[in-house]
Protein backbone atom coordinates (compact mmCIF):
# COMPACT_ATOMS: atom_id res chain seq x y z
CA UNK A 1 0.00 0.00 0.00
CA UNK A 2 2.88 2.35 0.77
CA UNK A 3 4.14 1.82 -2.77
CA UNK A 4 0.73 2.23 -4.38
CA UNK A 5 -0.30 5.37 -2.53
CA UNK A 6 2.15 7.74 -4.31
CA UNK A 7 1.02 6.29 -7.64
CA UNK A 8 -2.60 6.96 -6.78
CA UNK A 9 -1.78 10.50 -5.72
CA UNK A 10 0.09 11.08 -9.00
CA UNK A 11 -2.84 9.67 -10.99
CA UNK A 12 -5.34 11.91 -9.23
CA UNK A 13 -3.08 14.92 -9.66
CA UNK A 14 -2.65 14.10 -13.31
CA UNK A 15 -6.42 13.93 -13.68
CA UNK A 16 -6.92 17.23 -11.93
CA UNK A 17 -4.24 19.07 -13.86
CA UNK A 18 -4.56 17.53 -17.32
CA UNK A 19 -5.49 20.30 -19.78
CA UNK A 20 -8.72 19.92 -21.66
CA UNK A 21 -7.42 19.74 -25.19
CA UNK A 22 -9.21 18.71 -28.35
CA UNK A 23 -8.49 16.48 -31.25
CA UNK A 24 -7.38 18.00 -34.54
CA UNK A 25 -10.36 19.01 -36.68
CA UNK A 26 -12.69 19.28 -33.70
CA UNK A 27 -13.93 22.61 -32.46
CA UNK A 28 -12.63 23.80 -29.09
CA UNK A 29 -15.43 24.47 -26.65
CA UNK A 30 -15.67 26.07 -23.22
CA UNK A 31 -12.79 24.94 -21.02
CA UNK A 32 -10.59 23.93 -23.96
CA UNK A 33 -7.26 25.48 -24.80
CA UNK A 34 -7.48 27.61 -27.96
CA UNK A 35 -4.51 27.41 -30.36
CA UNK A 36 -2.13 30.31 -29.80
CA UNK A 37 -2.48 31.50 -33.39
CA UNK A 38 0.31 33.33 -35.17
CA UNK A 39 -1.13 36.37 -36.92
CA UNK A 40 0.48 39.05 -39.09
CA UNK A 41 1.06 42.38 -37.34
CA UNK A 42 -1.44 44.85 -38.84
CA UNK A 43 0.01 47.65 -40.96
CA UNK A 44 -2.35 50.23 -39.47
CA UNK A 45 -1.00 51.99 -36.37
CA UNK A 46 -4.51 52.14 -34.89
CA UNK A 47 -4.95 48.36 -35.18
CA UNK A 48 -1.53 47.75 -33.57
CA UNK A 49 -2.45 50.13 -30.77
CA UNK A 50 -5.80 48.41 -30.26
CA UNK A 51 -4.19 44.98 -30.02
CA UNK A 52 -1.22 46.24 -28.02
CA UNK A 53 1.33 44.63 -30.33
CA UNK A 54 4.55 46.14 -31.61
CA UNK A 55 5.72 46.53 -35.18
CA UNK A 56 7.07 43.36 -36.72
CA UNK A 57 6.04 40.48 -38.91
CA UNK A 58 3.83 38.48 -36.61
CA UNK A 59 2.45 38.13 -33.12
CA UNK A 60 0.84 35.41 -31.05
CA UNK A 61 -2.80 35.55 -30.01
CA UNK A 62 -1.66 35.36 -26.37
CA UNK A 63 0.23 38.67 -26.82
CA UNK A 64 -2.96 40.67 -27.37
CA UNK A 65 -3.34 43.12 -24.48
CA UNK A 66 -6.75 42.10 -23.21
CA UNK A 67 -8.39 39.88 -20.65
CA UNK A 68 -11.01 38.68 -23.06
CA UNK A 69 -10.69 38.27 -26.81
CA UNK A 70 -13.72 37.74 -29.00
CA UNK A 71 -12.90 36.10 -32.33
CA UNK A 72 -15.40 36.23 -35.16
CA UNK A 73 -14.75 33.66 -37.86
CA UNK A 74 -16.36 35.11 -40.98
CA UNK A 75 -16.18 35.11 -44.76
CA UNK A 76 -16.73 37.88 -47.25
CA UNK A 77 -18.78 35.35 -49.21
CA UNK A 78 -21.04 34.36 -46.33
CA UNK A 79 -24.46 36.06 -46.47
CA UNK A 80 -25.01 35.45 -42.74
CA UNK A 81 -21.76 37.29 -41.96
CA UNK A 82 -22.77 40.14 -44.24
CA UNK A 83 -26.11 40.48 -42.45
CA UNK A 84 -24.39 40.34 -39.05
CA UNK A 85 -21.67 42.89 -39.85
CA UNK A 86 -23.59 45.88 -38.54
CA UNK A 87 -24.36 44.13 -35.23
CA UNK A 88 -20.73 43.10 -34.78
CA UNK A 89 -19.64 46.70 -35.36
CA UNK A 90 -22.18 47.73 -32.72
CA UNK A 91 -20.68 45.18 -30.35
CA UNK A 92 -17.27 46.80 -30.84
CA UNK A 93 -18.72 50.26 -30.16
CA UNK A 94 -20.50 49.05 -27.02
CA UNK A 95 -17.24 47.69 -25.65
CA UNK A 96 -15.20 50.75 -26.59
CA UNK A 97 -17.76 53.13 -25.10
CA UNK A 98 -17.92 51.28 -21.78
CA UNK A 99 -15.06 52.41 -19.46
CA UNK A 100 -15.40 49.14 -17.52
CA UNK A 101 -14.86 47.01 -20.63
CA UNK A 102 -12.66 49.14 -22.86
CA UNK A 103 -9.18 47.66 -23.01
CA UNK A 104 -10.31 44.49 -21.28
CA UNK A 105 -12.43 42.98 -24.05
CA UNK A 106 -11.12 43.09 -27.60
CA UNK A 107 -12.47 41.87 -30.88
CA UNK A 108 -10.86 40.47 -34.03
CA UNK A 109 -12.14 38.75 -37.15
CA UNK A 110 -10.62 35.91 -39.15
CA UNK A 111 -11.70 35.64 -42.78
CA UNK A 112 -11.85 31.90 -43.42
CA UNK A 113 -10.64 31.16 -46.93
CA UNK A 114 -10.49 34.89 -47.71
CA UNK A 115 -7.51 36.58 -49.31
CA UNK A 116 -6.30 39.96 -47.97
CA UNK A 117 -8.10 41.58 -50.94
CA UNK A 118 -11.37 39.86 -50.02
CA UNK A 119 -11.01 40.73 -46.33
CA UNK A 120 -10.42 44.33 -47.34
CA UNK A 121 -13.59 44.32 -49.44
CA UNK A 122 -15.52 43.16 -46.36
CA UNK A 123 -13.79 45.75 -44.15
CA UNK A 124 -14.58 48.62 -46.48
CA UNK A 125 -18.08 47.50 -47.36
CA UNK A 126 -19.16 47.31 -43.72
CA UNK A 127 -16.72 49.88 -42.29
CA UNK A 128 -15.42 47.31 -39.82
CA UNK A 129 -13.53 49.18 -37.09
CA UNK A 130 -11.71 46.22 -35.49
CA UNK A 131 -8.77 44.22 -36.92
CA UNK A 132 -9.57 41.57 -39.53
CA UNK A 133 -7.13 38.90 -40.64
CA UNK A 134 -7.05 36.96 -43.90
CA UNK A 135 -6.81 33.18 -43.87
CA UNK A 136 -6.66 32.41 -47.59
CA UNK A 137 -5.31 28.87 -47.25
CA UNK A 138 -7.61 27.96 -44.32
CA UNK A 139 -4.57 27.24 -42.14
CA UNK A 140 -5.95 29.16 -39.14
CA UNK A 141 -9.42 27.80 -39.79
CA UNK A 142 -8.15 24.22 -39.83
CA UNK A 143 -6.24 24.76 -36.60
CA UNK A 144 -9.35 25.57 -34.57
CA UNK A 145 -11.81 23.23 -36.26
CA UNK A 146 -13.93 23.62 -39.33
CA UNK A 147 -16.65 25.88 -38.04
CA UNK A 148 -19.53 27.32 -40.00
CA UNK A 149 -19.60 31.07 -40.38
CA UNK A 150 -20.19 33.32 -38.61
CA UNK A 151 -18.75 31.66 -35.54
CA UNK A 152 -17.83 33.37 -32.30
CA UNK A 153 -15.19 32.29 -29.81
CA UNK A 154 -14.76 33.96 -26.44
CA UNK A 155 -11.16 33.47 -25.29
CA UNK A 156 -9.72 34.21 -21.85
CA UNK A 157 -6.15 35.56 -21.98
CA UNK A 158 -3.87 35.33 -18.97
CA UNK A 159 -0.15 36.03 -18.98
CA UNK A 160 1.86 32.85 -18.96
CA UNK A 161 -1.13 30.64 -19.64
CA UNK A 162 -2.47 29.32 -22.92
CA UNK A 163 -5.56 31.05 -24.35
CA UNK A 164 -8.66 29.25 -23.11
CA UNK A 165 -12.14 29.16 -24.57
CA UNK A 166 -15.12 30.15 -22.43
CA UNK A 167 -17.61 30.73 -25.25
CA UNK A 168 -18.06 29.08 -28.65
CA UNK A 169 -21.16 29.41 -30.80
CA UNK A 170 -22.18 29.41 -34.43
CA UNK A 171 -24.59 31.96 -35.86
CA UNK A 172 -25.54 35.52 -35.21
CA UNK A 173 -25.27 37.68 -32.10
CA UNK A 174 -29.04 38.03 -31.73
CA UNK A 175 -28.42 41.62 -30.73
CA UNK A 176 -25.10 43.24 -29.78
CA UNK A 177 -26.20 44.17 -26.25
CA UNK A 178 -27.58 40.71 -25.54
CA UNK A 179 -24.40 39.09 -26.86
CA UNK A 180 -22.13 41.34 -24.83
CA UNK A 181 -24.09 40.61 -21.67
CA UNK A 182 -23.75 36.88 -22.35
CA UNK A 183 -20.01 37.20 -23.01
CA UNK A 184 -19.42 39.14 -19.78
CA UNK A 185 -21.52 36.65 -17.84
CA UNK A 186 -19.80 33.57 -19.31
CA UNK A 187 -16.34 35.05 -18.82
CA UNK A 188 -17.01 35.28 -15.10
CA UNK A 189 -18.25 31.71 -14.69
The contact set with another protein (CB under 8 A) reads 1, 4, 8, 11-12, 14-15, 18-23, 26-32, 75-80, 82-83, 113, 115, 117-118, 121-122, 125, 136, 145, 147-148, 151, 168-172
Distance between CA atoms of 67 and 165, rounded to whole angstroms?
12
**Is 53 or 135 the residue whose CB approaches another protein more closely?**
135
Task: Give me the least distance between CB of 7 and another protein, in Å please.
Answer: 8
Task: Give me the least distance between CB of 19 and another protein, in Å please.
Answer: 8
CB 77, CB 85: distance < 8 Å: no
5: helix, strand or coil: helix
**Is 20 or 181 the residue whose CB approaches another protein more closely?**
20
Task: Give me the least distance between CB of 55 and another protein, in Å please.
Answer: 26
Helices (DSSP H) in 18-138: which residue ranges?
45-51, 79-96, 116-126
**Is 63 or 143 the residue whose CB approaches another protein more closely?**
143
**Is 53 or 91 the residue whose CB approaches another protein more closely?**
91
Q: Residue 158, CB half-sphere, CA atoms under 13 Å: how many? A: 8
Report which secondary-structure segment, H or E, holds 33: none
133: helix, strand or coil: strand
Task: Give me the least distance between CB of 97 and another protein, in Å please.
Answer: 27
β-bridge mates for residue 156, sequence order: 68, 164
State the burial class of residue 77 (Cβ atoms within 10 Å of its Cβ: 0-12, 13-18, 19+).
middle
Task: Give me the least distance between CB of 89 and another protein, in Å please.
Answer: 15
**Is 9 or 44 the residue whose CB approaches another protein more closely?**
9
Amino acid sequence: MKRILPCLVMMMLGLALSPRGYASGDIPGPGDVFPDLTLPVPKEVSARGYLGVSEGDSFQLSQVKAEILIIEVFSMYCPHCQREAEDVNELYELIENDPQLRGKIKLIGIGAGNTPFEVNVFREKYQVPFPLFADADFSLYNSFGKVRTPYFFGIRLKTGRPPRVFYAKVGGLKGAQRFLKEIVQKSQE
